[in-house]
Amino acid sequence: METSKAVIQTNNIDIVKTEVKKSKVKLSIILTHIIIIAVGIIMLYPLLWMVSSSFKDNLDIFKGTSFFPKEIIFDNYIKGWNGISGYTFATFFKNSLFICTMAIIGNVISCSMAAYAFSRLDFAFKKVLFAIMLITLMLPFHVTVIPQYIMFNKLEWINTFLPLTLPKFLATEGFFIFLMVQFMRTIPLELEEAAKMDGCGPIRIYWKLILPLSLPALITTMIFTFIWTWNDFFSQLLYLSDIKLHTVAVGLRMFVDSMGESSWGSLFAMSTVSLIPLFAVFIFFQKYLIEGITAGGVKG
Amino acid sequence: MQTFKKAWRRNAVAYMFLSPWLIGLLGLSLIPMVTSLYLSFTNYDMFTSPVWTGMENYTQMFEDSKYLASIKVTTIYVMLSVPLQLMFALGVALLLNRGLRGLKFYRAVYYVPSLFGGSVAVALLWRQLFGGEGLINRGLALFGIEGTNWISSPDTALYTLVILAVWQFGAPMVIFLAGLKQVPLELYEAARIDGAGKFKQFFKITLPMISPIVLFNLIMQIIHAFQAFTPAYIVSGGEGGPLDSTLFYTLYLYQKAFTHFDMGYAAAMAWILLIAIAIITAIIFGTSKKWVFYQE
């Protein structure tokens, strides 16, 4: 009795206090909104300026005072898309998309297979191998890139897509294995037991049960693979020096070198175009993206 | 006999599922690692056979002024960009975590720089922003300040790259936000009843409760920052200039390996990088017992 009285009393005090504070709280909420919006605009301004500039002529970019173009022109896009040395950005986009597609297929297949073994099967040296997998997550790739380059060179794979696509089929990106292991562990064992009763072996369980149920983790894998592969510059620069194999990232860099600093307009236009696929993925799959980012940090 | 057969089959199936990963681990990680360790004790240019030189690559480094410059540049970059990035990430996450309407929209807006930040396009944009006639100087001109060319001045070039890294605080912010949501609200109510102010609540409740996430973000961002390459390469046109002021460790490694084909030296550099990252991670983990609070 005594304690409940005390609780009621403090509750009453709280109510009085909140009445007084309400206007103060409201003001602080509005202020927070203003701060967040202001900082957000500052942060996005460079990107917005880039997009706006891509529709301006060069004079307007550097001398104009308005954020918006005086008149919207598409010359920069037409000129930029023509690319360099007879290869248009269509070629670069095709190459980037091909590498991304292969990387996505490779990662989904190979990482899900490894994750299935680690999360649902029992085998010798499981703990040791899992620990090794986690350690490879932390390794800087520079310790392997030099021998890999030498090896791919001996195989005569330089200036082919193989050094960029084949490793994905060998589950080299441990982050995705980890992500899928986390997810597959949450699938109830009863489902698997039921499937076993029906005479399903591990291969059918993987294919018919675990894989479909892991779809959210697979989508997250696809999206991150896409973003990372699209943004990857180091290995594309390393392995693709032939211009007809250039990706968007490498092509864009070559484009600047050949155009010089004078044609910022078409450079901005092509930069904008190069970011559209990323932005589209972000808009449509934001939920999976956020889940992927937080999976490592919060659940892990 | 029956159980032995069963166990064998169980293992065979599991290893079949693991086989792509195992081949990759062996062929693309372990063997290359051993190879690069071996190469680091040799002189190798890819055209003639490697020549064993013992510790020469490792001792030579400390007389190589460019190498020492790259260490200095990378250290400044990591020590500035990581704490600043995490402070912004946590600060904005705290603001967003006040039950605001439009949280998802705001979160998306702040994440966009992280989405684009690693791209060549944004690095090129940065080169323009901080250039002599760039957007930053035109903004400063409005206030009557005449800026220099930030990119081509050795005193400032590195800091433009630090700003580029800090600008991408959205990814750790998203992780902080998810962590803040898991802090039980009862704790704050109890603290309020005890008369604890906002600052005390932050240091006594929020910070300890999300300390595992601070640890995670700290380690991930440090590993990430040590390996930064694209911005320095693009902004400096692959040179690391002016006057080696943006010669990131990985950029110098790239130059050594793939422009000068000094593979042995570059392999030694890679191993030093690995060891440095391992030591720093170990130190942070070691101290974490003192400042990371794990809920039972």
Domains recognised in chain B with CATH numbers = 4-10+12-52 (no CATH), 58-291 (1.10.3720.10)
* Residue B283 clears pLDDT 70, i.e. is over it: yes
Which pairs from A31-36 meet CB under 8 Å and 24+ separation? A32/B95, A32/B98, A32/B100, A33/B100, A33/B102, A35/B95, A36/B92, A36/B95, A36/B96, A36/B100, A36/B106
Considering only CB atoms, which chain A residues are within 8 Å of B174? 290, 293-294
pLDDT at A110: 97
Which residue positions in chain A have pLDDT lower than 50?
Answer: 1-3, 299-300
Mean pLDDT value across residues B200-212? 90
Considering only CB atoms, which chain B residues are within 8 Å of A6? none
Considering only CB atoms, which chain A residues are within 8 Å of B213? 297-298
- Separation in Å, CA of B118 to nearest CA in chain A: 6
Please indicate if any CB of chain A lies within 8 Å of the CB of B275: no
The answer to whether B53 and B41 have CB atoms below 8 angstroms apart is yes
pLDDT at A296: 62
The answer to whether B218 and B82 have CB atoms below 8 angstroms apart is yes
Considering only CB atoms, which chain B residues are within 8 Å of A233? 118-120, 229-230, 233-234
Identify the weakest region by mean pLDDT among A2-16, A51-65, B72-86, B212-226. Answer: A2-16
* Residue B34 clears pLDDT 70, i.e. is over it: yes
Of A133, A146, A286, nearest to B36 by CB-CB distance is A146
Confidence grade of residue B115 (pLDDT, cut at 50, 70, 90) = very high
Please indicate if any CB of chain A lies within 8 Å of the CB of B26: no
Q: Are A271 and B129 inside 8 Å of each other by CB?
A: no
Q: Are B270 and A253 inside 8 Å of each other by CB?
A: no
Which tokens in the block code for residue B75? 């250290």
pLDDT digits (tens, 9 = 90+) for B143-167: 888 888 898 889 999 999 999 999 9
Which residues between 134 and 173 in chain A have a beta carbon less than 8 angstroms from any beta carbon of chain B? 136, 138-151, 153, 167, 169-172
Identify the weakest region by mean pLDDT among A219-223, A294-298, B33-37, B287-291. Answer: A294-298
Task: Answer left, alpha or beta for residue A79, where phi above 0 means left and psi between -120 and 50 means alpha.
Answer: alpha
Question: Which site among A146, A241, A256 would you substitute to test the B interface, given the most B Cβ atoms closer than 10 Å to its Cβ?
Answer: A146
Q: What is the CA radius of gyration of chain B?
A: 24
Distance CA A74, CA A82 (A): 13
In the DSSP assignment, the letter for residue B99 is T
pLDDT digits (tens, 9 = 90+) for A238-267: 999 999 999 999 999 998 888 766 688 899
Q: Return the residue of A nearest to B122 by Cα.
A: A271
Neighbours of B76 (CB within 10 A): 15
Distance CA B43, CA B35 (A): 13
Of B18, B32, B281, nearest to A138 by CB-CB distance is B281
Mean pLDDT value across residues B135-149? 86
Which tokens in the block code for residue A268? 């901005």
Q: Return the residue of B nearest to A114 by Cα.
A: B18
Angle between the B207-226 and B170-181 helix axes, to the nearest 10 degrees? Answer: 160
Please indicate if any CB of chain A lies within 8 Å of the CB of B23: yes
